[in-house]
């Protein structure tokens, strides 16, 4: 251990002991908590502590993954159990403060779980259905630390991997750990991370870039944001280790504009790392230097494509580049670059600290480690879980998330984001594995799983997915730009119960053209939702077209796609194509 890091670690551990020697209250203020009113609860808590003259440390923490139970308030007294309270509203705060913090009696009727220690009548956190079976690596600190306090992260083992790498390992040894881990990228493509790093290692310097992708505009996916607003330090440490292994000198954390929690917390974490000598020149007294900053993109889903991401960092419109050359040769500002997803980089510190073979023993042979799954839609317990590859969708959806409420039947799953697929509920026994899910007709993608009950219409859901893809197309290449619009027009017609006999074949032809002619994955994969929906719910499409009815009764009203398209269709009675490309529609007759 370097002397510089030993000083940081001693200070952090001393502060951590000090925190635990006094009353400590953690409040989850991630995006899910804020949506449930956590900021009002936090304000009420601080006011009540002042009113009752109770001295306690109040920390804002990230997402524990129990989104269904937000707002969460975590109370710990010195030597006592750490109790997690669920759905705490401002009017319940005085009861929690008076009972637990003043009289030392946990309020069992509000308690969800005991995080540490035990309380009669209250289950342990590890015994909750949503926590059973989880293996937390990337989310190991989520909900436990202040995401902007460097001492919290270091006290729980943070930056030990970087210190170990800089003091005892060569860049090649760090890279070998990643190779041995068999880590595959978690951004959707599942490309082997070690191989990707090797491309950059062989590229000439002196200036090379590590880019972290947190564009994350997928409906139903929130794990990248969840990591950055819960523990940005693990991503920053992963980036520095990637820079050391590949010879890179600079890094960018690329975050979608408007995600204020992840943006603010990442910026504060970067600032704390600079102040501690963990970023900048001669990190921990070594000869290695690395700089990181945050780069924001507009609200553009296609900006998550790696070359479009680089265009955005350079201040240009987020549009994919032609390849080759590939980013490892010509990336940001013409320099060699490597792009990894937030989750991918979040695993790296533990892989280096505990060695790659440790990680490779978790999960399955071709999908090692864990998958971070975001569960939303018609489930009893929506939230975020980190599970080893090899579990089934049934175990995650029914056992951990509680399945569909009110005794209704699970009809379908939408996985892998809007470019992923629609899976039948009959495939719940599919193993969570990159290759197994692809064979089933969908992809794991970035980890979003949207659950739909028997009340949902597969045709209507598919229309909404394509509406998103159509609106988010950057418009650079013709097959994607107009192909998405044509497919959306056909789906809208079918949902209005005005479908034509040849509509399904028409969509297939357009989809094939998009697949072979589009520049990036947005167009190449854009037909996936339709093709998978036709595979599993072809009969439902047939009923819409031939019998002119929707079996669920959902498809009787106007178009319900993106706001811009819906408004145009409502006011003008025009097609979605006219909403986004009115100049195209106006000139069709002149061609």
Q: Kindly state whether residue 154 falls inside one of the protein's structural domains.
A: no
Q: What residue ranges of the chain have pLDDT lower than 50?
A: 558-591
pLDDT of residue 560: 45
Longest alpha-carbon distance in the chain: 80
What does the DSSP 8-state code read for residue 543? I
Output the pLDDT for position 585.
36
User: Which pLDDT belongs to residue 460?
Assistant: 96
Final residue before a domain boundary, out of 76, 103, 127 = 127
Answer with the one of 127, 146, 175 that is the final residue of a domain. Answer: 127
DSSP secondary structure, 483-497, as one string? HHHHHHHHHHHHHTT
Contacts of 127 (CB under 8 A, 6+ apart): 113
Helices first, then strands: H and E counts in the chain = 24, 14
List all residues 6 or more positions away from 222 whose beta carbon is below 8 Å from its beta carbon.
Answer: 31, 32, 216, 374, 384, 448
Same structural domain for residues 253 and 397?
Answer: no
Query: From its phi and psi, is residue 586 left (phi > 0), alpha (psi between -120 and 50) or beta?
Result: alpha
Q: How is residue 282 annotated by DSSP?
A: S
Residue 320 is encoded by which pair of tokens? 């994919």
Q: Are residues 411 and 349 in the same domain?
A: no
Please name which of 459, 491, 460, 487 lies closest in space to residue 473, comparing C-alpha atoms: 487
Same domain for 477 and 578? Answer: yes
Same domain? For 380 and 347 the reply is: no
Q: Which long-range contacts (CB under 8 A, 24 or more apart) does 499-502 make?
A: 499/541, 499/544, 499/545, 499/548, 500/545, 501/545, 501/546
For residue 295, the cross-strand partners are: 254
pTM of this prediction exceeds 0.95: no
Domain boundary among 81, 104, 127: 127
Q: What is the pLDDT, as a whole number, of residue 441? A: 80
- Are residues 309 and 249 located together in one domain of the fold? yes
181 and 327 inside one domain: yes
Tens digit of each residue's pLDDT (9 = 90 or more) over 383-397? 999 999 999 999 999
Same domain, 347 and 375: no
Q: What is the pLDDT of residue 446?
A: 83
| Domain match, 349 and 446 both | no
Q: Residue 442 has what pLDDT?
A: 78
Structural domains counted in the chain? 4
Domain that holds residue 586: 470-590
| 138 falls within a domain | no
Distances (CA, A) of 386 to 136, 203, 220, 257, 356: 6, 34, 16, 26, 19
Outline where 298-400 has alpha helix (H): 306-313, 342-354, 356-360, 393-394
Q: Which tokens belong to 199?
A: 């491309």
Asked whether residue 296 falls in the same domain as residue 316, the answer is yes
In a domain, 484, yes or no: yes
């Amino acid at each position: 251990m370097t002397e510089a890091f030993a000083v940081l670690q001693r200070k952090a551990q001393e502060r951590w002991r000090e925190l635990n020697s006094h009353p400590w209250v953690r409040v989850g203020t991630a995006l899910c908590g804020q949506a449930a009113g956590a900021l009002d609860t936090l304000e009420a808590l601080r006011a009540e502590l002042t009113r009752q003259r109770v001295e306690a440390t109040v920390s804002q923490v990230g997402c524990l993954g129990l989104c269904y139970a937000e707002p969460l308030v975590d109370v710990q007294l010195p030597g006592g159990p750490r109790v997690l309270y669920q759905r705490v509203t401002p009017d319940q705060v005085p009861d929690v403060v008076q009972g637990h913090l003043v009289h030392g009696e946990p309020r069992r009727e509000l308690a969800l779980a005991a995080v540490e220690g035990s309380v009669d009548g209250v289950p342990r956190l590890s015994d909750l259905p949503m926590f059973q079976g989880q293996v937390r690596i990337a989310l190991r600190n989520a909900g436990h630390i202040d995401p902007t306090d460097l001492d919290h992260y270091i006290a729980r083992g943070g930056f030990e991997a970087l210190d170990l790498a800089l003091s005892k390992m060569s860049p090649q040894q760090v890279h070998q750990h990643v190779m041995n881990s068999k880590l595959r990228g978690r951004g959707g493509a599942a490309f082997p991370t070690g191989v990707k790093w090797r491309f950059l290692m062989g590229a000439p310097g002196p200036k090379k870039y590590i880019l972290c992708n947190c564009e994350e505009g997928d409906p139903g996916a929130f794990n990248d944001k969840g990591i950055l607003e819960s523990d940005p330090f693990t991503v920053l440490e992963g980036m520095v280790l990637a820079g050391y292994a590949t010879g890179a000198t600079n890094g960018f954390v690329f975050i979608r504009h408007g995600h204020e929690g992840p943006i603010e917390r990442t910026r504060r974490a970067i600032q704390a790392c600079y102040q501690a000598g963990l970023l900048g020149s001669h990190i921990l007294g070594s000869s290695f230097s690395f700089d990181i900053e945050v780069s924001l993109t507009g609200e553009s889903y296609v900006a998550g494509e790696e070359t479009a991401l680089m265009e955005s960092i350079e201040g240009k419109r987020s549009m994919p580049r032609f390849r080759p050359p590939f980013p490892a040769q010509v990336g940001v500002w013409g320099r060699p670059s490597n792009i990894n997803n937030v989750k991918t980089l979040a695993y790296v510190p533990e892989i280096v600290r505990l060695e790659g073979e440790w990680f490779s023993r978790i999960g399955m042979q071709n999908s090692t480690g864990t998958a971070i799954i975001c569960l939303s839609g018609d489930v009893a317990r929506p939230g975020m879980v980190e599970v080893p590859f090899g579990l089934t969708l049934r175990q995650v959806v029914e056992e951990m998330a509680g399945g569909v409420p009110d005794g209704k039947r699970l009809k379908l799953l939408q996985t892998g984001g809007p470019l992923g697929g629609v899976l039948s509920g009959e495939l719940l026994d599919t193993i969570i594995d990159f290759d197994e899910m692809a064979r089933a007709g969908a992809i794991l993608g970035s980890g979003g799983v949207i659950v739909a009950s028997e009340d949902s219409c597969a045709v209507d859901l598919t229309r909404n997915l394509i509406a998103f893809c159509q609106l988010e197309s950057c418009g650079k290449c013709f097959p994607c730009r107009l192909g998405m619009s044509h497919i959306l027009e056909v789906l809208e017609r079918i949902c209005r119960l005005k479908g034509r006999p040849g509509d399904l074949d028409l969509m297939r032809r357009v989809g094939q053209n998009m697949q072979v002619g589009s520049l990036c994955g947005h167009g190449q994969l854009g037909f996936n939702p339709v093709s998978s929906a036709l595979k599993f719910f072809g009969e439902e499409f047939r009923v819409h077209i031939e019998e002119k009815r929707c079996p669920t009764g959902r498809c009787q009203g106007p178009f319900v796609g993106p706001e811009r398209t819906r408004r145009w269709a409502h006011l003008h009675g025009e097609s979605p194509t006219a909403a986004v490309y009115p100049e195209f529609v106006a000139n069709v007759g002149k061609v």
